[in-house]
Amino acid sequence: MDEQRLIERLAKVETLFARATADGERAAAGSARERLLQRLVQFECQEPVVEHQFRLPDDWSRALFMALLRRYDIKPYRYQRQRRTTVMARVTASFVTEVLWPEFDQLNDLLREHLKAVTERVISQAIHSAGAEAELRAGQLPAS
């Protein structure tokens, strides 16, 4: 998958979470963001904003998650002595469970798929193309 195709797929995920109703709305990425911001405001009117802690597995996921938070005007932060992969945010629980985390999960899957393909292609072209997995041997582990 090339970068332009990845960008298009990421935009489609956002449109899906914006719950677009008309074909014209689905085509407009800017209006998808506005609809999601409106949903965030609706959630904030119905329940309190609380502090959430998110632990992300790697720098790629953390960067994506922080970009997603900032897209919705939510300020990510962390406390001193927290790990770099920990992100804190003040947001409603409903927005996290219904929009933010499911959207992040889908976007992260697409990004990881792309990064994996790029990594495999670069390694096979620049170093060696014998496959990514080690040979599986029967028997016992050698004694240490």
Give residue for tokens 């085509």.
27
CA–CA separation, 143 vs 118, rounded Å?
A: 38
SS3 category, 49: coil
Rg of the chain over all Cα atoms, to the nearest angstrom: 20
Q: Where are the domains of the chain?
A: 3-126
User: Which position has the higher pLDDT, 13 or 71?
Assistant: 71
Output the pTM of the full model: 0.74
CA 84 to centroid of chain Cα atoms: 16
- CA–CA distances in Å: residue 65 to residues 27, 47, 77, 122: 24, 23, 12, 26
In contact, 20 and 32? CB cutoff 8 Å: yes
Q: What percent of the chain has pLDDT over 90?
A: 46
Output the average pLDDT for the chain: 84
Residue 25: is its pLDDT beyond 60?
Answer: no
What confidence score (pLDDT) does residue 130 get? 66
**Quick check: 49 and 90 in contact, CB under 8 A?**
yes
Q: What is the pLDDT of residue 65?
A: 97
Q: What CA–CA distance (Å, rounded) separates 2 from 13?
A: 17
Distances (CA, A) of 124 to 11, 54, 104, 127: 30, 35, 30, 6
List CB contacts of 98: < 8 A, sequence separation 6 or more.
43
Instruction: Say how far apart CA 33 and CA 35 lie, in whole Å.
Output: 5
